A and B are shown apart, each in its own frame.
Chain A
């Protein structure tokens, strides 16, 4: 399960107070968030993504003094992640696809992201637990089917079927809501 904004923020504030355990918990919780963030936005090898995730973790660690305790944590985090990604594009001399750029610059606003996140969470809560877990793992956290199967200790086909059924049920529910 993803850590919530409140949880991340309290870990961050604990780390700023000098609690190493909070800081470590925060950094661990950021790994899946950052992996998903970069996977959604870049067409890159897993190695490159992982390098960027590590670089972002180092930046979060070294520049944690710039976090303002009164402001949302994820806004601060994604501002750093976005900066690191753009810096990466600049270094590799590659052009950022324009249609992606708007999304990067605007749509990653904290409210939008949180709003969408809450909507997704609410929808997933209506599904059976196994289907919700499978969808979270493969579609949000960015795990492969094999990784998700190992993590939940179930078969790969079980994961696939759960995702398929879960998404179908969600689509049906949204269609009904619109009517």
Chain B
């Protein structure tokens, strides 16, 4: 086909594009992935029975503030990287703020507790499964974001894969709070963060392969 014919064919279907098309597309992928993740939590793990009570407590909101703020940063970065002319993202350092904040809370918590309590606080009841559950729950969300990317145009594929993985990990951790009864900051800082980091690592590893267009 010569170039003129191609142009004629391409110009036959020119539907209008809404202003925030990129954001919407990513949000829809995120939403569908989240539905699967919530279904997995509901059917496989169950919501914590004291959820409504816990929502009045500090530790629940501490966890949500941590994973939620990481998700927001990661989503914003993903939106930027889904355009071909992504600008450098010097603002990403603000992601250190929730981490440092949580570490400060850890310090206070540990200082108040007797040393003998430190190990049980760190390991909780579920240290051995927490990270892998966060990682597994992130996979449907990551899949949803991959669908979103099919119409987007990332040019830095590894970075885009990493931020998509980070978004999926942080958001799945946020949803996992609906099940996880752990209360200490040191637990969240270690095991949640590990699961989120694994999801980001997976994204960085397979991004260049899966995001090509």
Contacts and interface: CB of A to CB of B under 8 A. Distances in A.
B25 interface: yes
Interface residues of B, number: 26
A20 B6 CA distance: 14
Interface string A162-178: 00000000000000000
Contacts of A50: 3
Contacts of B155: 79-80, 82-83
Contacts of B1: 54
A27 B212 contact: no
A23 B11 contact: yes
Contacts of A24: 7-8, 10-11
Nearest to B155: A83
A58 to B, nearest CB: 7
B127 to A, nearest CB: 41
A71 interface: yes
A66 B152 contact: yes
A28 interface: yes
B22 A20 contact: no
Contacts of A68: 83
Interface of A is mostly: helix
Contacts of B19: 69
A27 B16 contact: no
A66 B153 contact: yes
A57 B16 contact: no
Interface residues of A, number: 35
Nearest to B208: A90
Nearest to A16: B17
Contact of A53 (B3, B17, B213): B3
Interface of A: 15-21, 23-24, 27-28, 31, 50, 53-54, 57-59, 61-69, 71, 75-76, 79-80, 82-83, 87
Q: Which 5 pairs of residues, A with B, have the shortest CB-CB distance?
A: A18-B16, A79-B84, A24-B11, A65-B21, A63-B153
Given A54-B1, A64-B17, 13 more contacts: A15-B14, A16-B16, A16-B17, A18-B16, A18-B17, A53-B3, A57-B10, A59-B213, A63-B152, A63-B153, A65-B152, A67-B83, A87-B212
Interface of B: 1, 3, 6-8, 10-12, 14-17, 19, 21-22, 25, 82-85, 151-153, 155, 212-213
16 contacts: A17-B16, A18-B17, A20-B12, A24-B8, A27-B10, A27-B11, A31-B3, A53-B3, A57-B3, A57-B10, A65-B17, A66-B83, A66-B152, A69-B19, A79-B155, A80-B155
